[in-house]
Amino acid sequence: MKKLIEISAPDFDLAMTLDSGQVFHWQRADNGFLGTIGDLPVYVEQRSELLRTKVASASSRYPGNDAKDAHATIAHYFALDHPLAEICASFPADPIMTAARDFCRGLRIIRQPKWECLATFICSSMKQLAHIRQISAALRNRFGDQREIGGRVLHTFPPAQQIARASEKQLRECALGYRAKNLRATAQLVSSGECNLEAWSGLSDARLREHLCALPGVGAKIANCVMLFAYDRLRAFPIDVWIERVLRRHYFARRKKMTARQLHEFSETYFGEHGGYAQQYLFHHARTEGKGSMSKSKKKNCSAGQVVRAQGLG
């Protein structure tokens, strides 16, 4: 294993970030976490505002794999350059958003490898986080490359070419169910070059969403997740059952009929250019606190709704 690398990480909560439903393969180990960034095996722990990390050898994608390269890779992955204070200050000043912001202090949006992010969110459809982690582990163990760090064995996420060559039966054995067909079909499009995920970085938000939604197994919610977590489109606002519940209960408690389109249009306008961060904070707060925090007094429900109505958005 390479020597310890120290990275300054102010305004960052490693454990919360890794447990917030963005990424599904990091494992707790010793005083920190083990995982891979691309095919780079990493151990990372946090001591106050400092990350202490160790990396092992990887493929030629990280030539030399020296401390400087690893430092840059890890800092980029955890988005330590995002101006988090400014982002949080841009959130709307309503009680629900404020509670989520305070609860999630230090949570950052991870920059994930594009294929890995797309594939894991295709696998996530109609699944809870624990099940998604199981699927991710099964795919890695069966189709990924083995890496070792500190005497522990890890597996990289399999490239699109590897998934494309697998049979649907083999993928179903990784607990994917009907998602196996969609994952395999999308992997074939990516591995053939018909869909160039890297080239899509230059597209506008609207065009990127359109391209993603054309892939098998990708709808608006998954497309927005991939835009947010893999393409750094911080305005993207995925709406799943948790977020829909938050929006309906706390922003539109007095309106019985709100279509999915209306909720999307509201979130695009109300939460602004850093809506993806706002969504992730609302999601993690709601999921962590459970029904307790989401069934606060009617006074708070009305307060959030009043802010929305005062801005002419409700």
Instruction: Please compute the mean of the pLDDT values over residues 199-204 and round it to a whole number.
Output: 98
Task: Compute how many other C-beta atoms are within 10 angstroms of the C-beta atom of residue 248.
Answer: 14
Q: C-alpha distances in angstroms, 65 versus 43, 77, 202, 247?
A: 15, 16, 28, 45
Token duo for residue 86: 């400014």
Q: What is the pLDDT of residue 308?
A: 56
Amino acid at 202: G
241, with CB counted inside 10 A (0-12, 13-18, 19+), is exposed
What superfamily in CATH does domain 114-230 come from? Hypothetical protein; domain 2 (1.10.340.30)
Domains 5-81 and 114-230 belong to one CATH topology:
no
CA–chain centroid gap for 304, Å, is: 26
* Tens-place pLDDT, residues 275-312: 999 999 999 999 998 644 444 433 444 456 555 554 55
Q: What is the pLDDT of residue 62?
A: 42
Collapsing DSSP to helix, strand or coil, 22 comes out as coil
CB 114 within 8 A of CB 20: no
CB 74 within 8 A of CB 7: yes
**H/E segment holding residue 118:** helix 114-123
* Tens-place pLDDT, residues 175-192: 999 999 999 999 999 999
pLDDT score of 40 more than 90: yes
Buried b (16+ CB within 10 A) or exposed e, 87-124: bbebbbebbbbebbbebbebbbbbbbbbbbbbbbbbbb
**Top-confidence residue, 171 or 291:** 171
Q: What is the pLDDT of residue 64?
A: 43
* Tens-place pLDDT, residues 136-168: 999 999 999 999 998 899 999 999 999 999 999
Instruction: Please compute the mean of the pLDDT values over residues 257-262 and round it to a whole number.
Output: 88
Instruction: Please compute the mean of the pLDDT values over residues 9-27 and round it to a whole number.
Output: 96
pLDDT score of 3 more than 70: no
The residues spanned by each domain of the chain are 5-81, 114-230
* Tens-place pLDDT, residues 52-109: 999 986 543 444 446 678 999 999 999 999 999 999 999 999 999 999 999 999 999 9
The CATH-assigned architecture of domain 5-81 is 2-Layer Sandwich (3.30)
Q: What is the pLDDT of residue 63?
A: 42
pLDDT score of 254 more than 90: no
Q: What is the pLDDT of residue 132?
A: 93
Q: What is the pLDDT of residue 1?
A: 46
Distance CA 146, CA 140 (A): 9
Task: Compute how many other C-beta atoms are within 10 angstroms of the C-beta atom of residue 59.
Answer: 13
Q: C-alpha distances in angstroms, 140 versus 144, 187, 197?
A: 4, 15, 21
